[in-house]
Amino acid sequence: MSVAADRSENLRMIRDSAGAVVPPGDLRRVRALRSGAPGIDRDVWREMCAMGWPGLRLPEAEGGSGLGMAEFCALVEELGRGLVPEPLIQGAFAARLLRGEALEALLAGERIVLPAWQERAGAIAAGRDAALRDGRVTGRKLFVPMASCADAFLVTTHDGLALVRADAPGVSLEIAGTQDGGHFGTLSLDDAPAEAVAAATEDAVDEALDEAALALAAYLLGAMERSFALTLDYLCTRRQFGRPIGSFQALQHRAADLGIQIALTRASVESAAATLDSAGPAAPRAAAVSRAKARAATASMLVTRQAIQLHGAIGYTDEADIGLYLRKAMVLANLHGSAAEHRARYARLLPETDHD
Amino acid sequence: MSVAADRSENLRMIRDSAGAVVPPGDLRRVRALRSGAPGIDRDVWREMCAMGWPGLRLPEAEGGSGLGMAEFCALVEELGRGLVPEPLIQGAFAARLLRGEALEALLAGERIVLPAWQERAGAIAAGRDAALRDGRVTGRKLFVPMASCADAFLVTTHDGLALVRADAPGVSLEIAGTQDGGHFGTLSLDDAPAEAVAAATEDAVDEALDEAALALAAYLLGAMERSFALTLDYLCTRRQFGRPIGSFQALQHRAADLGIQIALTRASVESAAATLDSAGPAAPRAAAVSRAKARAATASMLVTRQAIQLHGAIGYTDEADIGLYLRKAMVLANLHGSAAEHRARYARLLPETDHD
Amino acid sequence: MTDLNALDDEDFRLAVRRWLREAYPPELRNPPKRLHWRDNKVWYLKLAEKGWLAPGWPREHGGMGLSAAKQLIMLDEYERHGVARTNDHGIVMLGPLLIRYGTEAQKSRFLPKILSGEHIWCQGYSEPNAGSDLASVATTAVREGEDWVLNGQKTWTTLANDANWIFVLARTDRAAKKQEGISFFLVPMDAPGVTVRPIVNLDLHDEFCEVFFDTVRVPHDNLVGAVNQGWTMAKALLGFERVMIGSPKQSAYALGRLRLLAQRMGGWDDPVFQDRYTGLRLDLADHTSLYETYLEILRRGEMPGADASMLKLHQSELYQRITDTMLEIAAENAGLLEPMEGNRDLNPAGLFLQARPVTIYGGSNEIQRNILARTVLGLPG
Amino acid sequence: MTDLNALDDEDFRLAVRRWLREAYPPELRNPPKRLHWRDNKVWYLKLAEKGWLAPGWPREHGGMGLSAAKQLIMLDEYERHGVARTNDHGIVMLGPLLIRYGTEAQKSRFLPKILSGEHIWCQGYSEPNAGSDLASVATTAVREGEDWVLNGQKTWTTLANDANWIFVLARTDRAAKKQEGISFFLVPMDAPGVTVRPIVNLDLHDEFCEVFFDTVRVPHDNLVGAVNQGWTMAKALLGFERVMIGSPKQSAYALGRLRLLAQRMGGWDDPVFQDRYTGLRLDLADHTSLYETYLEILRRGEMPGADASMLKLHQSELYQRITDTMLEIAAENAGLLEPMEGNRDLNPAGLFLQARPVTIYGGSNEIQRNILARTVLGLPG
């Protein structure tokens, strides 16, 4: 078999396995977990770990599967289709930076480690105002998704990465519910005992952050595609004026435009994944991520908003599943940087010169 | 009769008289004048003067009709419907600032005086780098519409207004054709003999400029309304797939959106005219003009562009009249300030404060 | 009692303003969601007591008998003060219809109880399969002796869970053309066979309900107007509504919140934001100018035509564009379930969700564009 | 002669690039408007001489017989170098159709003359009442003995004023369903009864023409394929075209000109402009990624489906948005008839006008959206 065919077989298998763990058609589990703490199902998390998902990107020598961003994005996209709340993107982010026993426990599903990297709203880059001295961390980290399910946090500091147990003294967590039924945690660390994670360089953290941002774009892609499919179904089913409403040209044209935005998002995400999977200088790699995240943020909000409109009154009820997709987009579109932030970063990374 | 009814009777009469001089349905005259010098018909200009149009806004004591901006805008709007090339807006602008014999000659249709106020591209305010000393002007003025038909120019200078004969020594004019079949003149003045126009203050010039900008918005309003009417006719007439294309919902919805933009433009222009016609502080008056000009610029480009699209292939021929409306919008949308410049001026004039 | 119509406009405006300052409960100003009867009852009864509940009804029926111009001033002051809507379907919708089409008996039976707050009405028009296509109501009413028997289901019935009466469009002639076989009934919510099920919205509020009719029996006296005239009567009263639904107030409110949010997020001075904000501001200002031209028509006592639907279209989409912008600049706060920092004025997600249905209800914007294109622009059907 | 297919891709690319640098007339790079035969003839004949005129045709017919992948590399280099389109309807449209459907006699009669430049072809498809609805062609062909007699009118015939032959869709069966009564004819432009009238476009260029057929007689040999198979043949060749028409080249070219204009106007560093420019740049980059996925399909030798129409839709509207932006920032220069300062790279009005027809030709964007919605998204017809 050719390399390309091998790869596409890989991708197909990954998508299938994702569908087996979290069937996208059924959102009852997602609804049941809404707005409770910890907001995830630990058994499902363990199953994900058993499938090797948090370590998908790690070399086999480190207990991973040695696959690329293309594969990870395909997996995460499937989770997006099913609005899966378990924090795989964050877990994989942590796994990229941990080593040894801490990594093993994470990959085995025994401990959930979530990165706490953000110190201001809207950040793309890691905040490093927190301080790590003599094995103790002091600082404040914002917007940690699903923080209440963490056994430990991987904290960026001025002095490198630190691993802090959630139940350690000096650790306090403030929780704010999010529209998707999950939550953000504000993590306050007051001289909390921590373990330095020496192996990870700042560059490695930056790369892991970019991978997480791209994975978010892939998750949004899956979610918007699914919400669009639900909407097309509705347009074919719902009748008004004696015809299915999907036969009305104005709605057809709007659907066509949404389809184009989804296709652009897919092309952008897959192109960024391919860029990260190939060797190359740092700026175009980060720029590719920004391009994909900007597109995914904008397109996912457009598609899910329009999905509500195209569903009409039923779309405005909480009991219609379509609203769950809008809520998810509201939470993820700006996470790891809004469209505007990523557009600006793209322009900074790849300034236009007079190359004509 | 009530004041309001009187006023609306005035407006109706003005619109009727405009239609009599320049019937809007027939663009053969406009086509015939395209891209020739001087690009206007002097007889039509004299007829306009005989109707009292350049002096419409002047007090009766000065030989005018003593009417307001509402009336002037109504008149100019009708000219926009017919794409009339004669420079009434500029002539009226000059008339607002002249006095005595020069004014009489202008109002009588004997001499065409055009303002030359602009020293950089995109300007809204009068350029005053030109110098007037000892009865001689030196300077350079840009984008004088229909400059080749002028008998004299009314030039803004650092030292007040100056009247310069077009055939005076030291006056040279460079002509660049415009898309609407007219032209812009670049006026170079090299120690050219001039007559100081003492009466006009800087404030008066600023006000006349704002009136001209609003009049342009009204002209664009008339032009876009007419182009929309032509497009609606076409949509009702042209058949494809066995139906008039105007029965297709996607085109109907687009037409509805254009109709809304036109209605907003009318409301904006009429509101600005009413503001200028009432007493009040300078900033809100200028802001109302900026609001109307910004809307007219954006809406006229949108409407005329879409008019081409809705006409399909026929709209892309030079022989279809609809293209003349697009060309006119291309020339006027940015004249006296683009939409972006006027939005920015509006925000400067009326900064938002915490008034909640 | 002063003759309010005799006051000049400015004095009238000041009188309204004074009364709102005195009497309106401060905690009810600018509520983030539509209030239930339990919350707005206090204000409804204060209005009733003052005799200001029904500005547009003739005095003989207990209304204020205000001119259109005065009503608009009153409304304007209400909007400025952030006065919440009450459970006003009896006042706004049913009252004028009864006054115009009801029998004397119906007027004297129902109007006083609307004014006293004893009857709280809701409007039973939309159905699961008669949303955009309202004329295809499938709820039936069949004559049985002196009674009518209703069967069917209404949906999107605003605040039905507060109401004790509902006015219903029901089909009384299946053979007639869609619009011509519909009649108008008054139904007590406690009649056997009426069930109410609240619908939780995207913004997690239960403003709307489903109402089920299972062999509900009402006497013939509860039919308003002639049999099969229901649709015509319901439509005849839409002129004022068509304008009011396009009021700039939602957008104006949201724009203020957008400014506050931008200031809080530190992006207020960003030139890109400023440009966008100014664009929205100009859209609002031009909308307000357009709205004014329609108010002027109402002030003259005339009824605006179908072109007034432009107002609703533009306002609702502007409102959404403003709240879309809020989400875009709110960073991670765009996803929060509760207002930021416990400050209900910093609630981008909440306002965004509340702005969703405005392009759906009151005739979806798609329907409004159809009407505009065909009725106003004259495009072929 | 080297076997170009045997070269690796990079070597092939360099070979094409080298040849363009050597042979392509510099004054013809990036022409602002479509060139006439009098201007592009020199390049056409150079290509002919080198044997590079028909990259996609099999070698046995005088083509290069290049793989799809190699053709795309060639095209890419042409675009980078700013090579102008020639009068290529014979090469691109008619040649492949004759190779697939023509008789041996037709192939040997016509193909060599396309390659020599002796026959310059144009395409007679659109009619005044068969634009978006192309299948309703009204031009008729009636059999009379050994001849067919054509009557009717074609329009939007690109460069008909340069051509000496035209291929024509004409109705041969009025009773059949629209698509099924159409045949494909080859007509010399000097046949008695053929008249050409150039149409002047908005950008004051005569790229399109009307062609009139008044009792034009052609022998039966000039019918390609079977009677009534014209529509099927014309449609069968659209796969490659569907992708190519969505190439990002127009937008990429326009974006470069927008940058130049902004720099010239002094607004390049304005943050509001920068934000907008970056947005357009990202749209172009994402479009290019999407386009690449379709090129990949072509490289594999497969034919993309109807979903490829997304490319044309998005590209054409992006191109227009870029040129719209040019006008907005060009101040008074937006209205000029000629390029600014005599520099054809600073020509906002010209480029804006040239961008108008892209959403109309090649199946208007309205039609493309219909196709996308019904064929690809599966919405009901």
SS (H, E, C) A188-206: EEEEEECEEECCCCHHHHH
Tell me, what's the pLDDT at A2? Answer: 66
**Region label for A156, one of left (φ > 0), alpha (ψ between -120 and 50) or beta (otherwise):** beta
Tell me how far apart the alpha carbons of residues A163 and A155 are, in angstroms, rounded to a whole number. Answer: 6
For the segment B107-151, what is each residue's pLDDT rounded down to a tens digit? 999 999 999 999 999 999 999 999 999 999 999 999 999 999 999
> What type of residue sits at position C113?
K
In chain D, alpha helices (H): 9-23, 37-50, 68-81, 89, 95-101, 104-116, 230-236, 238-244, 249-265, 271-299, 309-329, 348-354, 365-371
Which residues are within 8 A (CB) of B105 and not within 5 positions of it... i.e. 6 or more apart? Answer: B111
Q: Which of A126, A214, A213 minimizes the C-alpha distance to A162? A: A126
How far is Cα C258 from Cα C273, in angstroms, rounded to an integer? 11
Dist CA D150 CA D169 (whole Å): 10
* Eight-class DSSP state of C173: -
Residue D96 resides in a domain: no
Using CA atoms, how far apart are residues A37 and A183, in angstroms rounded to an integer? 8
Q: Which residue of A178, A248, A340 is in closest CB contact with C336? A: A178
Place of tokens 């066509």: A256
Q: How far apart are CA A134 and CA A136, in angstroms?
A: 6
For chain A, the residues whose C-beta falls within 8 A of a C-beta of chain B are: 248-250, 252-253
Asked if residue D381 is part of any domain, the answer here is no
Chain B residues within an 8 Å CB radius of A248: 249
Our CA-based measurement puts residue B342 at a distance from the nearest CA of chain C, in whole angstroms, of: 10
> Closest Cα of chain A to C49: distance in Å?
37
DSSP string across C190-209: TSTTEEEEEE-BTTS---EE
Could you tell me how far CA A226 lies from the centroid of its own chain?
16
Task: State residue D179's pLDDT score.
Answer: 86
pLDDT, tens only, C50-79: 999 999 999 999 999 999 889 989 999 999
Contact C330 A312 (CB under 8 A): no
3-class state of residue A132 by DSSP: strand
Query: Which of D61, D86, D111 corresponds to the end of one domain?
Result: D86
Measured from the Cβ of residue A236, the count of other Cβ atoms closer than 10 Å reads: 16
Write out chain D residues lying below 8 Å of B326, CB-based: 202
Locate the DSSP E strands across chain A: 113-116, 131-133, 136-145, 152-157, 160-165, 171-177, 183-193, 195-197, 239-240, 243-244
D334 and D252 both lie in a single domain: yes
The Cα C305–Cα A276 span in angstroms is 59
Q: Which residues of A touch C357 (CB under 8 A)?
A: 313, 316
Q: How confident is the model at residue B2 (pLDDT cuts 50, 70, 90)?
A: low
Contacts by D36-39 with C-beta closer than 8 Å and gap 24+? D36/D159, D36/D161, D36/D162, D37/D87, D37/D120, D37/D159, D37/D162, D38/D162
Confirm if C43 and C28 have CB atoms less than 8 A apart.
yes
CA angle A5, A13, A9 (to 5 degrees): 5
Chains C–D, number of C-beta pairs less than 8 Å apart: 8
Give me the pLDDT at residue D301, please. Answer: 83
Nearest to C276 by CA among C287, C265, C267: C267
In a domain, C104, yes or no: no
Total count of domains within chain D: 3
Q: Which domain holds residue D69?
A: 8-86
Output the pLDDT for position D134: 77
CA dihedral C80, C82, C83, C87 (to 10 degrees): 120
**Which one of D125, D321, D337, D361 would you mutate to disrupt binding with B, by most B Cβ within 10 Å of its Cβ?**
D337
Q: Which element (helix H / strand E) includes D182?
A: strand D182-188
* List of chain B residues whose C-beta atoms are within 8 Å of the C-beta of residue A249: 248-250
User: In angstroms, rounded to a whole number, what is the distance separating the alpha carbons of residues A127 and A109?
Assistant: 27
CA distance A197 to chain D (A): 37
CB C43 within 8 A of CB C25: yes
The pLDDT, as a whole number, for residue B4 is 74
Residues C256, C199, single domain; the answer is: no
Query: Are D307 and D236 contacting, i.e. CB atoms less than 8 angstroms apart?
Result: no
Domain membership of residue C91 (yes or no) is: no
Task: Give the DSSP H/E element, type plus range, for residue C43.
Answer: helix C37-50
Cβ atoms within 10 Å, residue C305 = 12
- For residue B272, what are the contacts with CB-CB under 8 A and spacing of at least 6? B69, B214, B217, B288, B289, B291, B292
CB pairs under 8 A between B and C: 91
Q: Which of D260, D286, D368 sits opposite A264 (nearest CB)?
A: D286
C23-39 burial, b at 16+ Cβ within 10 Å, e below that, comes to ebeeebeeeebbbebeb
One-character DSSP codes across A246-291: GGSHHHHHHHHHHHHHHHHHHHHHHHHHHHHHS---HHHHHHHHHH
CA distance, residue B237 to nearest chain C CA (Å):
10
> Which residues on chain C are in Cβ contact (under 8 Å) with A301?
324, 327
Element (H, E) at B197: strand B195-197
Q: Is residue C214 part of a domain?
A: yes
Amino acid occupying residue B329: A
Is there a single domain that holds both residue C282 and residue C368? yes
Is A248 close to B248, i.e. CB distance below 8 A?
A: no
Q: Are residues D124 and D182 in the same domain?
A: yes
d(CA B301, CA B325): 9
Give the span between the Cα atoms of C164 and B346, in whole angstroms. Answer: 51
> Which of B239, B304, B309 is the best mutation test for D, with the most CBs of D within 10 A?
B309
| Residue range B202-352, CATH number | 1.20.140.10
Nearest CA in chain B to A251: B250
Pairs of residues, one from chain B and one from chain D, whose beta carbons lie less than 8 Å apart:
111
Q: Which residues of chain A approach chain D closer than 8 Å at the C-beta?
A: 232, 235-236, 243-244, 246-247, 249, 251-253, 255-257, 259-260, 263-265, 267-268, 270-271, 291, 294-295, 340, 343-344, 346-347, 352, 356
pTM: 0.95
DSSP per residue, B270-311 = HHHHHHHHS---HHHHHHHHHHHHHHHHHHHHHHHHHHHHHH
Q: Which chains touch C (3 or more CB pairs under 8 A)?
A: A, B, D
d(CA A331, nearest CA chain C) in Å: 4
Give the dihedral sign, CA D153/D156/D161/D166: negative
The answer to whether the beta carbons of residues D216 and D191 sit under 8 Å apart is yes
Query: Best mutation site among B343, B345, B353, B354 for testing chain C: the one with the most C CBs within 10 Å?
Result: B343
Task: Using the predicted structure, report yes or no on whether residue B353 has a pLDDT greater than 90.
Answer: no
CATH code: domain of residue C34: 1.10.540.10
User: Could you give phi then psi for residue D335, rounded to 5 degrees?
Assistant: -100, 5
Interface partners of chain B (CB pairs < 8 Å, 3 or more) are A, C, D
Q: Is residue D302 domain-resident? A: yes
In-domain check, residue C111: no
CATH code at position D150? 2.40.110.10
Instruction: Name the residue among A51, A348, A62 with its Cα closest to residue A200.
Output: A62
Subunit contact C307:B263, Cβ cutoff 8 A: yes
Contacts of A252 in chain B (CB under 8 A): 250
C241 is catalytic: yes
Answer for the pair D55, D71: CB distance below 8 angstroms, yes or no.
yes
> Is the peptide bond prior to C96 cis by the omega test (within 30 degrees of 0)?
no
Spell out the per-residue pLDDT of chain C, length 381, in tens.
568 888 999 999 999 999 999 999 999 998 888 999 999 999 999 999 999 999 999 999 999 999 988 998 999 999 999 999 999 999 999 999 999 999 999 999 999 999 999 999 999 998 988 777 778 899 999 999 999 999 999 998 999 999 999 999 999 999 988 889 999 999 999 999 999 999 999 988 999 999 999 999 999 999 999 999 999 898 877 777 889 899 999 999 999 999 999 999 999 999 999 999 999 999 999 999 999 999 999 888 888 988 999 999 999 999 999 999 999 999 999 999 999 999 999 999 999 999 999 999 878 999 999 999 999 999 998
Does C178 share its domain with C252?
Answer: no
**Which one of C60, C77, C79, C241 is the catalytic residue?**
C241
Q: Is D210 in a helix, a strand, or coil?
A: strand
Q: How far apart are CA C345 and CA C339, in angstroms?
A: 8
- For residue B329, give the nearest of B349, B295, B303 by alpha carbon: B303
On whether both C136 and C57 belong to a single domain, the answer is: no
**Residue D361 is part of a domain; what is its CATH number?**
1.20.140.10
Nearest-CA distance B159 → chain C (Å): 35
Residue D132 shares a structural domain with residue D206: yes
Contacts 24+ apart (CB under 8 A), D72-75: D72/D295, D72/D298, D72/D299, D73/D9, D73/D12, D73/D13, D73/D16, D74/D12, D74/D16, D75/D244, D75/D247
Six token digits for residue C58: 């003739």
DSSP letters, A136-174, are EEEEEEEEEETGGG-SEEEEEETTEEEEEETTSTTEEEE
Helix (H) and strand (E) counts in chain D: 13, 8
- Give the C-alpha separation, C32 to B194, whole Å: 66
Continuous segment of H or E residues that includes residue C352: helix C348-354
Note the helical H segments in chain B: 3-21, 28-33, 42-50, 69-81, 88-97, 100-107, 202-237, 249-277, 282-311, 322-332, 339-349
CB D318 within 8 A of CB D280: yes
Q: Which chain C residues touch A309 with a CB distance below 8 Å?
A: 356, 359-360
> Which residue on chain D is closest to C276 by alpha carbon?
D272
CA dihedral C239, C241, C244, C245 (to 10 degrees): -120
Contact call for A264 and D290, based on CB within 8 A:
yes
Domain assignments of chain B as residue spans, ordered by start: 202-352
- How far is the C-alpha of D117 from the C-alpha of D37, rounded, in Å? 10
Residue in chain D closest to A274 (alpha carbons) equals: D289
Determine the pLDDT at residue A1. Answer: 46
Query: In tens digits, what is the pLDDT along chain D, a chain of 381 residues?
Result: 568 888 999 999 999 999 999 999 999 998 888 999 999 999 999 999 999 999 999 999 999 999 988 998 999 999 999 999 999 999 999 999 999 999 999 999 999 999 999 999 999 998 988 777 778 899 999 999 999 999 999 998 999 999 999 999 999 999 988 889 999 999 999 999 999 999 999 988 999 999 999 999 999 999 999 999 999 898 877 777 889 899 999 999 999 999 999 999 999 999 999 999 999 999 999 999 999 999 999 888 888 988 999 999 999 999 999 999 999 999 999 999 999 999 999 999 999 999 999 999 878 999 999 999 999 999 998
| Domain match, D358 and D263 both | yes
Q: Do A339 and C328 touch (CB under 8 A)?
A: yes
- List chains adjacent to chain A, taking adjacency as at least 3 C-beta pairs closer than 8 Å: B, C, D
CA distance D255 to chain A (A): 11
Catalytic pick among D241, D302, D338, D366: D241
Q: How far apart are CA C1 and CA A169, in angstroms?
A: 71
The 8-class DSSP code of residue B56 comes to T
Nearest to D250 by CA among D321, D329, D304: D321
Domain ends where: C39, C63, C86?
C86
